[in-house]
Amino acid sequence: MNMINVKINGVDYSVPAGITVLEACKYANIDIPTLCYLKDINEIGACRLCLVEVTGARGMVAACVYPVADGMEIQTNTAKIRAARKTNLELVLSAHEKKCLTCIRSTTCELQKLAQEYKVDEDRFCYSEKEEKKPLDLSSPSILRDNNKCILCRRCVAACNKLQGIGAIGATNRGYDTEIAPSFEKVLADTSCINCGQCIVACPVGALYEKDDTQKILDAINDPTKHVAICCAPSVRTAIGECFGYEPGTDAQGKMVAALKALGFDGVYDMNFTADLTIMEEGYEFINRVKNGGALPLITSCSPGWVKYCEHYFPDMIENLSSCKSPQQMFGAMYKSYFAEKLGLDPKDIVFVSAIPCTAKKFEVGRDGQSNDGLPNVDIAVTTRELGRMIEQAGIDFKSLADAEFDSPIDIGSGAGAIFGATGGVMEAALRTAAEVLEGKPLEKIDFEEVRGTEGIKFASYKIGDMTVNVAVASGTANAAKLLKGVQDGTYNVQFIEIMACPGGCVNGGGQPIQPAVVRNSIDLRKVRASILYNADANLLGYRKSHENPIVKKVYEEFLGEPNSHKAHELLHTHYIPRGL
């Protein structure tokens, strides 16, 4: 690596050539304020809060886009710089609706934090209350938009374009009239938005947020005629601690379960169970397609954002999608049938809730093909963030809770089910089961490490029985598009594909706790959260393969018959539709 010498605030440092001033300052442990910058996603120098002084420049420069040079002297905190940053903050606030007390991002808003640090006078360039308010876009079942709070940082635009390759929103109009919105004055629900929520976790303010369904849950809990049960996706436990001040990478499963029980749920269950059930159905679906000449490659269907993306952008590959419902929907279907009978409940009296890291799950709840006997499989889906707010509003001291266990009879999940939330996890779980079924004997090694990691696209080949299975894994729909185009033109020869809509998988879902740019730019949240799932798998003393889960075995013996049976298809499988762009 070619190193150069720079001086930052009078101190000499050696830094790599070719980086920006902002990156160089990290070597000096100096955090420069930003609002628009997100590493590798949005580097446009728009907000002008990262202004610094450097030798040879005419005036101040934006540190996020200005390259370092050998011998450069950089000043980051002079009176002139602080005054300029303060003025720019005041200008940003002049067009920002300042209803901080009731804003969903109060105390987690990056603009609010900077305004406090720089002692900004919010009325210097006064926002006129007489200005016509921009209408809220409440059309989506998952993502709500409030352009009165938008600061035009374009992080959401970059996330939608670069990470996801969709472009459902962008800058419209010009000058003072510029706003971030879908083109042609559409509302979000009428675009090809896949409800992934990556725009929400990128937004530094409260201009984008998930549709809040917590009051529906509270109303159900307070209704004595209702039995309210909740299942928790594996990725929720990897991040909910962040809502209460824990460092990213903290496993908060026990406290999460205790908090849910304190909220008054009648049953608190582990979605790992239906992750295992999904593997049984999907694994046998793959085996059947291989043996009987079905559409290959088989592509996983547990990510509703990815499924909707496929319907919009690759409708000719819908037949390649697994017909399996997602673990969320499978759980509701099983709870309102098999388990309702076991527990002596009338399915009509059940309100089934899922706690998920994904805003697209809210859309999935209302999809066609996600109900049985006239009842929706899942009644309400809430994100990790919503769950955190419910716990906080109930006055529950999360940190002081003693760990609790999931409720029986659905308290067992395999290690394979646990890793579902990380990119490559579904593939690895499926391979563990499919390989043993096809080979007819236990695997000597059950860790398929080649499909692990946060790379956008991964390939691997495995010898299973007398056949070689080529697999591919993609996360982020922009990467999914690259992979599928390669499959279509013959570049890639694969038989099994895992795709997750969010980069890094569900652990980095659009419903996870929002971390500020200073954290996202320095910590790989995908990696630290996923480590919890892999640790759970590695340390599980009981079962590490989905087909070994005793609850799954019992369900098939007593109710479903066998994987891909007629009853299993009625309850656990669905269909898809082509959608326009």
My answer on whether 58 and 132 are in the same domain is no
My answer on whether 22 and 148 are in the same domain is no
My answer on whether 457 and 518 are in the same domain is yes
pLDDT at 144: 98
pLDDT tens-digit map of 436-485: 887 788 888 889 999 999 999 999 999 887 889 999 999 999 999 999 99
For range 77-103, the mean pLDDT: 93
Report in angstroms the alpha-carbon separations of 316 from 50, 194, 286, 321, 485: 46, 18, 19, 10, 12
**pLDDT exceeds cutoff 70 at 573:** yes
**pLDDT exceeds cutoff 70 at 348:** yes
Residue 148 maps to which CATH number?
3.30.70.20
Confirm whether 250 is domain-assigned: no
Residue 7 maps to which CATH number?
3.10.20.740
pLDDT tens-digit map of 381-402: 999 999 999 999 999 999 999 9
**pLDDT exceeds cutoff 70 at 428:** yes
Confirm whether 382 is domain-assigned: no
pLDDT at 440: 82
pLDDT at 443: 84
My answer on whether 63 and 129 are in the same domain is no
How many domains does the chain contain in total?
Answer: 3
My answer on whether 196 and 137 are in the same domain is yes
pLDDT at 541: 63
pLDDT tens-digit map of 106-154: 999 999 999 999 999 767 776 555 567 899 999 999 999 999 999 999 9
My answer on whether 132 and 72 are in the same domain is no
My answer on whether 437 and 521 are in the same domain is yes
**pLDDT exceeds cutoff 70 at 267:** yes
Q: Which domain holds residue 442?
A: 274-326+419-539
Average pLDDT of the chain to the nearest whole number: 94
Long-range contacts, stretch 28-37, CB < 8 angstroms, 24+ apart:
30/76, 31/518, 32/63, 32/76, 33/85, 33/114, 33/117, 34/64, 34/517, 35/92, 35/110, 35/111, 35/114, 35/151, 35/153, 35/204, 35/517, 36/64, 36/153, 36/154, 36/155, 37/64, 37/517, 37/521
**pLDDT exceeds cutoff 60 at 297:** yes
> What is the percentage of the chain residues whose pLDDT exceeds 70?
99
Point out the domain boundary residue: 41, 62, 77: 77
pLDDT tens-digit map of 210-260: 999 999 999 999 999 999 999 999 999 999 999 999 999 999 999 999 999
Nearest alpha-carbon partner for 192 in 380, 423, 377, 363: 363
Confirm whether 566 is domain-assigned: no
pLDDT at 302: 95
Point out the domain boundary residue: 157, 183, 210: 210
My answer on whether 437 and 493 are in the same domain is yes
